[in-house]
Chain A
Amino acid sequence: MEKVVTFLLDGEVIQGQEGQSIMQAADEAGKYIPRLCAHKDLTPHGSCRICTVLVNGRPQSACTQPIADGILVESETPKVNQLRTDIIDMLFVEGNHFCMFCEKSGSCELQALAYRFGITAPKYPYQFPQRDVDASHPDIFLDRNRCVLCGRCVRASKEVDGKNVFQFVGRGVEKRIAVNSEQGLKGTDAEVMDKAISVCPVGAILKKRVGYAVPVGRRLYDHQPIGTASEEETTE
């Protein structure tokens, strides 16, 4: 039998199984920890840092940090939420996020996080980087302007689809998503039903000919903050 591990999350006693991450244990207990690169079907990445929590006072990413007996985890505190807000601000100014015409708007996890934290304008200056769009594939768009480098597509392609369509190239501010062909996405074996295509949290990877399929007011995050669903799912 799995060993039970007991720890404190924002003062509440949480029990999980040994080997679980703080995020997994928190999810099972119905406590949402904000996240972007993490996805329940994929190996944790630990890159966006939005799930940063303080573990006995030390910052750790909840998606990669294993639970341990007696640890004190701070998540919903002003200090930690300030870090998260700053990171979300960084992601907004780093890319070119034109929500007003993005098909993902309303169901975008980055946007939803910003809504959840009540951000009305980022505190950092917009960078307006030059990024490439790859529209070569008949069924899929890749718009790097909106990419947040979460690596979900990279992992999903490998781990779920058994392909290697996406990978990171470059480093630092030059880091970007590349595809496994010099001809762009059309030269790869990417298919519209791939997990890699649907896991994109933002509008960087989109299916063509879908458009604004869900009317405003009925989209995922129009009325409920991100994280609400996960809390409900686990309490059901």
Chain B
Amino acid sequence: MSKPKIATTSLAGCFGCHMSLLDIDERILELAELVEFHKWPINDRKSFSAQCAVGLIEGGCCNEENVEVLRTFRSSCDVLVSVGDCAIMGGIPAMRNMVPLEECLQEAFVDGPTVHNPTGAIPNDVEIPLLLDKVYPCHEVVKIDYYLPGCPPPADTLWEALVALLTNKPISLPYNLIKYD
């Protein structure tokens, strides 16, 4: 019997949640026994070639590419988990949600006190994904099955949740493992 596959990605996040996953320390070996990491930043695979049992999403959706990746994860993963505050509520990137997009760009590329931009141009290469009007929590874009809050979620939270998912048990986190910071 082949091992269940896992996929992870970081959208508008800082990879801190992935770091927390690595923080499960030696249990990572145990995890590697249990699952196959099909597509994750470590192997840098570009697309899914198989259906995965579990997808872990770090980060919210700040641009159109995030939306596309998230949708692909949704259709390629049986269970999709929002990992961390950015995936769940937008997190730090969502601090721009209270400012109109045009003002954000103006401040970031033209008016900001540390900006040196003699042409005053706002970067606009076709390779740059278009920004969304605000940063969206993942569950406002696709259906999400589970949420693991935290900035980042404690390594134990990730471990407990993964073990439960992989052994077909409901995720039930004790008091100590639900944290928003």
Contacts and interface: CB of A to CB of B under 8 A. Distances in A.
- Are chains A and B touching directly in their complex (CB below 8 angstroms)? yes
Interface of A: 96-102, 105-106, 111, 114-116, 118-121, 125-126, 128-131, 145, 216, 222-223, 225
Contacts of A225: 175
Given A118-B173, A120-B178, A126 B89 contact: yes
Interface of B: 82, 85, 88-92, 94-95, 97-98, 134, 137, 139-140, 144, 146-149, 151, 173, 175-176, 178-181
A232 B178 CA distance: 23
Interface SS of chain A: loop
Given A118-B178, A216-B181, A128 B134 contact: yes
Contacts of A101: 92
Nearest to A225: B175
A99 B88 CA distance: 12
13 contacts: A98-B92, A98-B95, A100-B92, A100-B181, A120-B88, A120-B147, A120-B178, A126-B94, A126-B97, A128-B94, A128-B97, A128-B98, A223-B175
Contact of B139 (A115, A121, A216): A121
A131 B175 CA distance: 31
A114 B98 CA distance: 24
Contacts of A118: 173, 178
Contacts of B180: 99-100, 105, 111, 114
Interface centre among B140, B144, B179 (most CB of A within 10 A): B179
A99 B94 contact: no
A126 B90 contact: yes
Contacts of A222: 176
Contact of B82 (A97, A121, A126): A121
B173 A100 contact: no
Nearest to B139: A121
A125 B137 CA distance: 9
A200 to B, nearest CB: 18
A72 B144 CA distance: 40
A100 B89 CA distance: 11
B178 A115 contact: yes
Nearest to A116: B175
A209 B95 CA distance: 23
Contacts of A128: 90, 94, 97-98, 134
A102 B82 CA distance: 21
A236 B144 CA distance: 45
Given A116-B175, A120-B148, 14 more contacts: A98-B95, A100-B180, A105-B180, A115-B178, A118-B178, A119-B178, A120-B88, A120-B149, A121-B137, A121-B149, A128-B94, A128-B97, A216-B181, A225-B175
Given A114-B180, A120-B148, A126 B175 contact: no
